Structure 1
Amino acid sequence: MKISYNWLKKYISIDINAETVSGILTDIGLPVKSIKKIFYEDEIEDSILDVEITPNRTDAMSHYGIARDLYAFLKLREKTVYLSKPLIINERIHHHDKYHVQVFIQENKKCIRYSGMSIYGIRIEPSPYWLVSRLKSIGIKSINNVMDVINFVIYELGQPIHVFDMDQIEEKKIIIKNAERNTYFQSSDCITRKLDEEDLVICDAKKPLSIAGLINSIQSDIHLDTKNIFLGSACFSPILIRLIGRKHLIKTESQYLFERGVDPNQTASALQRTAFLIKSITKKKTYFHIIDVYPSPIYPSTIKLRYNKIRNVLGKEISINKIKKILSLLEIVIHSENQKYLFVCVPLYRIDVKREIDLIEEILRIYGINKIKISDRVKISPIPNCFYKTEHKIQKILFEQLICYGFQEIISSTMINEDKYSTLLNSFFNREEIRIVNPINQNYKLMRSSLLFGMIDCIEYNYNRINYYNSSIKFFEIGKIYYKQNDKFLEKTYLGIVISKKIEKKHVESQPFFYLKGIVEQIFQKSGINNYTQIFSKHPLLENSISMLYNNKNIVEIGKLKNNILKKKEIFYAEIDWEYLISIIQEKKIIYVPFSKYPTSRRDLSLLVDKTISFEKINQLIKKEENHVIKKIQIYDFYEGDNLPKSKKSYTVSFFFESEKETLNDKIIKYYMKKIESLLKKELKAEIRERK
C-alpha cells in the first residue's frame, strides 16, 4: 500500500522525516519496502512509502489508520505528538421528502450494516488541485470531484463507498438482497455477468444497481449531467465478498477491503466525512440526508488479560501503568480490573485482536520488541517419553507426515459387498470372513477382512466424479479388520495406504510400487525403525508383493492388486500392522547422535544378477561387512525383460558414504567400491554393468 508522507502529517503532528517514520512502521509490524521522493507541480516535496500490510490488519490499510499506530508508538515514548481525526459534517442535515431514499436489508447475515446519504444539488466538475495531487501521489488518476472525494475517503479511512445517480433509483428504494437466478448484470466495466441466488446485490425497486457495492451497473453510474447522488457505505460479510470477487473476477479496492473485514462503526462517519469534503469543494449549495440501517448491532468483545501471562510470554516485567497506557493509546478500553488481571473491550476496527495472546502481541508491538533482551543460553525441558509416545500422539505425527506427501485420509464402511468382491474373498490363509446375521442392506452382509475393499470403493467413487487423468489417487485409512480363525472371532487394527493411477505410457512417476515403498520407509525412519529386512511374500490379494519384517515379525505388506477390478486402473497397496508398529515405537529409546560435519558422497552401481536374487539379499550381504563409512544403501532402478537374458535381472544400487572423522576423497571411495564389487561377484556371481 502506498502512503503519502505529507498526507500522513495531516492527521499526526510529527517533526521527523520519512526515513524515521519508515523505521518506526517497520518496528511496529508494518514493514516499509521502499521510499520514493516526488515533487508536485508547485515544487512541493513529498515522500511515498510502500508499506507491506498483513491481510488481518485492515485497521492500518489507510492513512489515518497508520497515523493512529504511529501516535501510540510515539506518545508512549513521551514525544510531543497530536492525533487529529478527519473533520466531518456536524451541522444539521437538511431533509427533503422528494429525495428521501429508503433502505431495506433482506439478508442480515450478509449485510451487517448499511448507511446511505442523499446529496442533491451538486455539479460534476474537475477536482481542485490539492485533491488531484493527493490522489496522484499514491497512483490514483483523477476522474471528477465526486469520484475523487470518494477515492480520497477510501484511502484516508479504509472504508469502501459506492455512489449511484439518485435519479436512476426507482421509487427511491435501496434493497440489499440475493440476486434472482439467471439475472444478467451489465457492469460499468462493460462486462455482462450472470448472477444467481448466491450473489448479493444492491437493488432499487426494479433492477440491480450494484454487486455488493463492488461494481455498479452502467445505468446507475454518475455522469456529467448528474445533479443528485446517493452514497452507500456498508459492512458486508468478508467471506461472501471473497466468494463473489473470485466467482465474477472482480478486483477493486472496495473488494480488497471488504474481504478483509471493515469496521461496522465507521460506515456512517465515513459518509459524514465525504459530505464534509464535497461541501468544501463544491461551489453550489448542497443538501444532505443520512439514513442508517443496523439490524443486529455488533458489540466490542471483552478479553481477560492476565499480568502473569504477559510476563511469562514476554519474559520481561512491564509495569502495570505502562500496560494500561499502551492499551489506552490503542483505544482498548479497560472494563474492570483487579491486582491479577484486566477485563478489556477491544474496538471493532481491530478485527485481528480476538484472544489474550493477541493483546499481549499488541503490548509488545508498541512497547518495542527490541527492548526484550534474549538470553545467551537456551533452556530446554526434556519431555517425558510417556507424553509423546501415546498412541494418539504417534498417530497424529504419522498422519501429518502422510498428508504432507499428498495423501488424504478416508473412513470407509466396515461392511463389504459380497457380490462385488467374490473373486477376492476367501483368499486369505486361515482367515474366514464374518457374516452378519441380520444386515441392514442385503448387499452388504460381510465384515471387512481387509481395509483394501473399502479403499477400492472410494477410489472408484472418485474416478467416476473427478478428473484424475494426470494425477494419482492417494488415500490412507486406519481401522479395524474382522475375521474368523480357528473358530475364534478376531479383530485387528491396520493402517492402509493406497495409490491408484490410470494405466498409461510410463513417465516420471512410472513406478508407484517403489514410490509407495519409499513412503513406508519414511514412516519407519520417522518412527526410529532402521534394522528391518525385506522378503518376497505371497500375499493372497497382491502380486509381486514384499513383506517388511522387524525382529523376524511381519510389520507391513506391499504390492499391486492382483485382480483388476477397476478397468485400466492400477492399485498399489501397503498394509501396516498398526498395533505392532505402536509397540515398537513405544519401546524405542531416544538417542541423540550428532550430524557429521563432513559431506556425504554417493556412488551408483549397475549390476546383473540371477532372477532369484532380491535386493534385500544384496543389502544384507553388504551390511554384514560392517563397513562404518557406508551410511545408506538404496535401490535406484530395477529392470527385467527385453535385451536381458531370461534368467537375469538388473539392479542399479546407490551407496552413500560418510565419515565422522574426515572428508572422504575419491581414492578412498574407489577403494570401498572395489571391495563391494568383489564381494558381489564372489557371493552372488554378479556382473558389473556400469559405475557412476
Structure 2
Amino acid sequence: MKISINRLKDFILLNQSSEEIADMLTQSGLEVEGIERFESVPGGLEGIVIGEVLTCEPHPNADKLTLTTVDTGSGVVPIVCGAPNVAQGQKVAVATVGATLYPKGGDSFVIKKAKIRGEASQGMICAEDELGLGESHAGIMVLDTDLPNGTPAAEFFNIKHDDVLEIGLTPNRADAASHLGVARDLKAILRSEVCLPSVKEFSVDNTSRSIAVEVENAEDCPRYAGLTISNIKVGPSPEWLQNYLKALDLDPINNVVDITNYILHDLGQPLHAFDADKLAGEKIVVKKLAAGTEFITLDEKERKLTGDELMICDAEKGLCMAGIFGGLGSGVSDQTTSIFLESAYFSPDVIRKGSQHHGLKTDASFRFERGTDPNMPIYALKRAALLIKEIAGGEISSEIVDLYPNPIADFEVAVKYRNITRLIGKHIEKEEIKAILTHLDIKVVDETEEGFRAIVKPYRVDVTREADIIEEILRIYGFEKVELTEHYSSDFLAEHPAKDGNKLQYRLSELLGGFGYQEIVTNSLTKPQYVEKAGYLKMEDNVEILNKLSEDLGVMRQTMLFTGLEVLAHNINRRQKDLKFFEFGTTYKKTAEGYQEDQVLALFLTGDKGSESWMEPSKKVAFPDLYSVVERLIEKLNLPELHMEIIHDAPFDYALALTLGKNPVGKIGLISAKVCKLAEVKQEVFYAELNWDYLLKKAAGLKKYEEISKFPEVRRDLSLVISKEVTFDHIKQLAVKAGGKLLKRIGVFDVYQGDKIDSDKKAYALSFYLQDNEKTLTDKVIDKTMGRLMQSFENEINALIRK
C-alpha cells in the first residue's frame, strides 16, 4: 500500500522527515518497507535553471548551429544551440553542466562540457520534449517570465515532489488502508489531531433526477447510499489530482473516475459512479442474480455468476459486481453527462467469496473484504460530490438515499488493568493507558479500580477482545519501552530444547541438494480424477473446493504423489528424463472429526543414474538409490533406528513401509505403471513419502559429528543362509544389539538365490565394520564380538553360517 507524505500532511500536522515518519509507523505496527521519491517530471528538473540569451551568432563551422552566450545566474557561459528559433533576449530553460535530462521517449543523459565543431559549449538550451514536459521538438522553449536568471526551472514549471511510503499492510489492519487510517495512527503516536476536509458546503441543488434504490439482501449490504449529479463534463483531471494518483502508481482515467479513486485512497471508502442515462427504469437494485447468469466486466471478459455474488442492478440487468468490479456497459465515459454515485458498506464475507471465485483483486475488493467503516459512506459521498462539482461541473440533482435499516453497533470490550500489566510485562499508568486509547478513538467508560469498558468504533474490525485492546496500548506505548528483566518467564509451557523446524528443513534441503535433488513446489489443489482412478484413496476423504477455479483444481491433494508426477511429466515431455526432485508440502484429508492436514516430505527418482560416457554405460536408477538417500536423511535427523516391512500396497508395485515404534513414518518404493499413466509418465518412478510432522517431532536435532577416531577400523565378513522371509532389517536389528558400540555399520555385498541352496532359502554376504574410539582392537575382542553376532543369527533366525 502506498501513502503520499504530502497528502498525509493535509490530515495531520507533521514536522518530521519522511524517514522519521516511516520509523514511527513501523514501530507502531505499520511496517514501512521503503520510501520512493515521486516527481511530476522525471528528475524534477534538477540542474535546470532559467537563463537569458545575451548574444546569438552563426556558428563559423556549421550552417545549422548557433553560438550563444547565456546568463545562468551564476555566470555567463557559451552554449552551441541547434534550434532555429533561438534569439537574443530570450528567457530560456538551461541545463547546466552535470544536469541529467530525461527526454520523452528516449534515454536519460548527462550534460557535459563539450566542443561542438570546434566551439566550446557548457550547457544546453532545452526544448520541452528534452525536459520531459511535452512532445514538441520544433524549437527551444521561450519562457514568458520576470523571474531572475538562475531561478530553478522547477519553480517556474511548478514541479511537484513527494515522498511515497510503501507500507506492508497486514490483513488485520483494514482500518489503515488509506491516508486517513495512517493519519489516525500518527495521531495516537504524536498526540495530535486529525483534520478532515469540511463538507458543510454540501447542499442539494435540485431533485430533478432521483434514482430509486432497493436493497433485497440487507445482510450482505447493511448500508447503501447514493445520489445523482447532472450536467457534468467528463474530461481529464487537473494536474494536482493526476499527480496524486501517479504518486500512488495509479493511471488517471477521467475526472469522475479519478475522484472516486482519490476518495478510496484518501478515506478508505470505495465509491462507484454509474452513467445515470444507462440505468433502465431509473432504478438501482442490490441483489443476487441466478447461477449461470452471464456478466461482462470492465475488462471485457464474460463471467458466469455462481448465484452467490452480490450484484448492483437496474430494473433489467446487472451493472456491477458489488464491491469488486464494474460492468462494461454502465460505467462513466466521455459522453456521460449524469451519474449516480454509489457509496456503500458490504459484508466482507460476500465480497471475499465473489472476489476469490472470479480471481478479481481490485482496490475496492481489497478493502471491502477486510472490512470498511460503516459510518464513512455518507461523508465520503458528500466529499466526492463536492469535488465532482468543483472539477467536472454539474449540479447535485437528488437527495442522498441512505438505506441503513440495522446500524452496526460499536464493539464493547471489558478490560482488566491487571491483565494489561500481565500481558505487556510492565506496569503502565492508568492515565497513560486512557490517553493512548482516547487518541485511538477508543472510549473508556465505566472505569473502576479493577478495569473499564472500551467502546471501539466498528471500523476497527481487529479490536474485539481484551487482548486486542492490550495490543493497541502496547504498539502505541512502544515495544522498545518494555525493558528486559534478568529473569524471563512466559504464560505457556514449551518443550525444551525447542526445535527449529525451519532450520531442520533447510539443512535437509541442503543435504538433498548435495545428492543432486532439486526442490519443487506444487499446487495444493489437484484433479479429483486422480483419487477416482487410482483406486487406493477414498473419494469421501477428498476436501472439495466450494468456489473452484476449474475442475482440474477441484480438491485438495490427499497425497504429494500426483502433483509431483505432473512435474515429472512436464520435464520428460521436454526431453529431461533423468530427474531427482523433492518437495516439502501439505496433504489434506476429510475425517469424521473434521479435516486433517499433514506435513510431508516427498522424493521422486526416475531415469538414469548419470550421463552416459565412454568410461561407463548409462544405468537406470533402482530402489537402493532412493533408499540410501532416505537413510541419510534419517541419520541426519538423529532419529532412532527405523523398522522396515516389505509391502505390495498401491500405489506401489513394491515398497518398504517405515515405522518408528508402532507409528508409521513413510513408504519408499516403485510406483505402479498404472498410477504413473494417470499423469502420463511412461517410465519407472521411485517415490518416497515421509511424515515430516512426525519426523520433526521425534528428531533429536541435527546429528552432531564426533571427532574422527585415530584408531583403525576392522572389517569382517559373514555368509548367512537364511529363510526367504527374513529381511535385512531384521538382521540389522540383531547385529546392532549383539555388536554393541563397537559395530559401526553393516552392509550387504552379495545376495544369492538359486539351485545351489534350498528353494525357500537365500544367502546374504555381509560385511561388519568394527572400531573402538579409545584403543586399537585386538584379535581377541574382534573374535568375541563376531562370536556374539554369529550366535545371535543362529539362535534368532536359524541362520546357517558358512565358516
Q: Please give the range of the TM-score, normalised by the shorter of the 2 chains.
A: 0.5 to 0.7
Give the drift of 1:33: 1.2
- In 1: Cα distance, 2:297 partner to 2:660 partner: 67
Native 8 Å contact 1:200 1:212 kept in 2:
yes
Instruction: Deviation per CA, 1:288-320: give whole Å up to 9, x if none.
Output: 531111132210110001100000011111000
Give the drift of 1:207: 1.0
Amino acid in the other structure paired with 2:163: S
Map of 2:32 onto structure 1? 32
Structure 2 residue runs without a partner (length 5+):
42-157, 496-521, 525-534, 545-554, 565-586, 610-620, 648-653, 668-673, 677-686, 688-698, 795-803
Map of 1:370 onto structure 2? 480
Decide which of 273, 280, 292 is 1:182's aligned counterpart. 292
Structure 1 residue runs without a partner (length 5+):
76-80, 386-405, 409-455, 480-496, 538-542, 561-566, 573-591, 662-667, 686-692
- SS in structure 1 at match of 2:562: coil
Shift of the 74–629 alpha-carbon distance from structure 1 to 2, 3 Å rule, reads: farther
Give the drift of 1:628: 7.9
Give the drift of 1:599: 5.9
1:258 and 2:372 aligned: no
- In 2: Cα distance, 1:320 partner to 1:205 partner: 57
1:611-626 alignment, distance < 5 Å: 611=724, 612=726, 614-626=728-740
Calculate percent identity across the aligned residue pairs. Answer: 29
- In 2: Cα distance, 1:72 partner to 1:464 partner: 45
1:176-325 alignment, distance < 5 Å: 176-287=286-397, 289-325=399-435
Map of 1:459 onto structure 2? 538
1:51 and 2:167 aligned: yes
TM-score, normalised via structure 1 length: 0.65
Native 8 Å contact 1:307 1:340 kept in 2:
yes
- In 1: Cα distance, 2:455 partner to 2:748 partner: 62
- SS in structure 1 at match of 2:352: helix
- In 2: Cα distance, 1:234 partner to 1:607 partner: 83
- SS in structure 1 at match of 2:379: helix
Map of 2:562 onto structure 1? 470
- SS in structure 2 at match of 1:68: helix
1:673-692 alignment, distance < 5 Å: 683=790
Map of 1:164 onto structure 2? 274
Instruction: Deviation per CA, 1:329-366: give whole Å up to 9, x if none.
Output: 00001231111011111111111111100110000000
- In 2: Cα distance, 1:89 partner to 1:651 partner: 96
Give the drift of 1:87: 2.6
- In 1: Cα distance, 2:479 partner to 2:255 partner: 44
- In 1: Cα distance, 2:590 partner to 2:358 partner: 36
Map of 1:129 onto structure 2? 239
1:68 and 2:184 aligned: yes
Map of 2:463 onto structure 1? 353
- In 1: Cα distance, 2:769 partner to 2:216 partner: 70
- In 2: Cα distance, 1:263 partner to 1:84 partner: 17
- In 2: Cα distance, 1:192 partner to 1:43 partner: 43
Amino acid in the other structure paired with 2:190: L
Native 8 Å contact 1:2 1:50 kept in 2:
yes
TM-score, normalised via structure 2 length: 0.56
Amino acid in the other structure paired with 1:257: R
Instruction: Deviation per CA, 1:524-571: give whole Å up to 9, x if none.
Output: x99x9969988999xxxxx99999898xxxx579999xxxxxx989xx
Amino acid in the other structure paired with 2:469: L
Native 8 Å contact 1:38 1:47 kept in 2:
yes
- In 2: Cα distance, 1:505 partner to 1:250 partner: 39
Decide which of 93, 99, 103 is 2:204's aligned counterpart. 93
Worse-matched range after superposition: 21-30 or 457-466:
457-466
Native 8 Å contact 2:32 2:168 kept in 1:
yes
Map of 1:494 onto structure 2? none
Give the drift of 1:626: 3.2
- SS in structure 1 at match of 2:285: strand
Native 8 Å contact 2:273 2:339 kept in 1:
yes
Map of 1:6 onto structure 2? 6
Give the drift of 1:239: 2.2
Amino acid in the other structure paired with 2:196: K
Give the drift of 1:231: 0.9
Native 8 Å contact 2:735 2:789 kept in 1:
no
- In 1: Cα distance, 2:223 partner to 2:428 partner: 39
Give the drift of 1:182: 2.8
- In 2: Cα distance, 1:45 partner to 1:669 partner: 79
Instruction: Deviation per CA, 1:439-460: give whole Å up to 9, x if none.
Output: xxxxxxxxxxxxxxxxx99736
Aligned pair count reads: 537
- In 1: Cα distance, 2:543 partner to 2:414 partner: 52
- In 2: Cα distance, 1:239 partner to 1:103 partner: 23
Give the drift of 1:653: 11
- SS in structure 1 at match of 2:264: helix
- SS in structure 2 at match of 1:263: coil
Native 8 Å contact 1:4 1:138 kept in 2:
yes
Native 8 Å contact 2:229 2:394 kept in 1:
no
Native 8 Å contact 2:644 2:656 kept in 1:
no
Instruction: Deviation per CA, 1:455-496: give whole Å up to 9, x if none.
Output: x997365599979782699879899xxxxxxxxxxxxxxxxx
Shift of the 639–355 alpha-carbon distance from structure 1 to 2, 3 Å rule, reads: farther
Instruction: Deviation per CA, 1:575-597: give whole Å up to 9, x if none.
Output: xxxxxxxxxxxxxxxxx999986
- In 2: Cα distance, 1:28 partner to 1:51 partner: 12
- In 1: Cα distance, 2:220 partner to 2:768 partner: 60
- In 2: Cα distance, 1:133 partner to 1:461 partner: 56
- In 2: Cα distance, 1:236 partner to 1:199 partner: 11
- SS in structure 2 at match of 1:36: strand
Instruction: Deviation per CA, 1:380-425: give whole Å up to 9, x if none.
Output: 799699xxxxxxxxxxxxxxxxxxxx9x9xxxxxxxxxxxxxxxxx
- In 2: Cα distance, 1:609 partner to 1:475 partner: 45
- In 2: Cα distance, 1:363 partner to 1:636 partner: 66
Amino acid in the other structure paired with 1:94: D
Shift of the 85–614 alpha-carbon distance from structure 1 to 2, 3 Å rule, reads: same
Amino acid in the other structure paired with 1:620: L
Native 8 Å contact 2:642 2:658 kept in 1:
no
Instruction: Deviation per CA, 1:168-196: give whole Å up to 9, x if none.
Output: 11222111111123322122211111223
